[in-house]
Amino acid sequence: MMTDRKLGEFELIERFFAPLATGQGAAGLKDDAAAYTPQPGHDLVISKDMLASGVHFFPDDPPEAVAAKALRVNLSDIVSKGARPTGYVLGLGLGADMPENWVERFCAGLAADQERYDISLLGGDTISTGGKIVLSVTLFGEMPSDGIVRRTTAQAGDLIFFSGTLGDSSLGLQLRLKPELAEISGLSHEDLAYLKQRYLLPEPRTAGYSAVARFAAASMDVSDGLAADLGHMCRAAGLIADVTVESLPLSGAARRWLEADQNIWPWIVSGGDDYELLCAVRPRDRDAFLAAMRETGTHVTEIGRFGLQDDADPGVRFNKGGTVVAVEGPGGYRHV
Binding positions for a copy of itself, 161-200, rule CB under 8 A: 170, 173, 177
Site for a copy of itself contains 244 (CB under 8 A): no
Q: Using CA atoms, how far apart are residues 71 and 88, in angstroms rounded to an integer?
A: 8
The residue type found at 178 is K
Asked if residue 313 belongs to a known ligand binding site, the reply is no
Number of residues that bind a copy of itself (CB under 8 A): 74
- In the set 18, 19, 22, 36, which binds a copy of itself (CB under 8 A)? 36
Site for a copy of itself contains 8 (CB under 8 A): no
CB of 132 to a copy of itself, least distance (A): 5
Asked if residue 56 belongs to a known ligand binding site, the reply is yes
Site for a copy of itself contains 125 (CB under 8 A): yes
Asked if residue 229 belongs to a known ligand binding site, the reply is no
Count CB neighbours of 122 within 10 A.
Answer: 25
Pick the closest to residue 265 from 138, 140, 166 (CA basis). 166
The CA distances from residue 220 to 59, 62, 147, 226, 274, in Å, are 29, 28, 14, 11, 12
CA angle 248, 151, 295 (to 5 degrees): 60
Q: Using CA atoms, how far apart are residues 109 and 318, in angstroms rounded to an integer?
A: 38
Residues 59-78 that bind a copy of itself (CB under 8 A): 77-78
* Strand partners of residue 88: 121, 139
Q: What is the DSSP letter of 213?
A: H
Q: What is the DSSP letter of 212?
A: H
Site for a copy of itself contains 208 (CB under 8 A): no
> 47 or 251: whose CB is closer to a copy of itself?
47
- In the set 44, 111, 182, 288, which binds a copy of itself (CB under 8 A)? 44
What backbone phi and psi angles, to 5 degrees, belong to 113? -75, -25
Asked if residue 158 belongs to a known ligand binding site, the reply is no
Site string for a copy of itself, 297-336 (x = CB under 8 A): ----------------------------------x-x---
Site for a copy of itself contains 7 (CB under 8 A): no
- In the set 71, 200, 220, 264, which binds a copy of itself (CB under 8 A)? 220
Q: Which residues, 6+ apart, have CB-to-CB distance to 270 below 8 Å?
A: 170, 225, 226, 227, 228, 327, 331, 332, 333, 335
Q: Using CA atoms, how far apart are residues 83 and 103, in angstroms rounded to an integer?
A: 30
CB of 301 to a copy of itself, least distance (A): 21
Residues 15-34 that bind a copy of itself (CB under 8 A): 25, 27, 30-34
Asked if residue 273 belongs to a known ligand binding site, the reply is yes
Q: Residues at the annotated binding site for ATP? A: 124-125, 151, 223
Q: Residues at the annotated binding site for Mg(2+)? A: 32, 47, 49, 77, 125, 221, 224
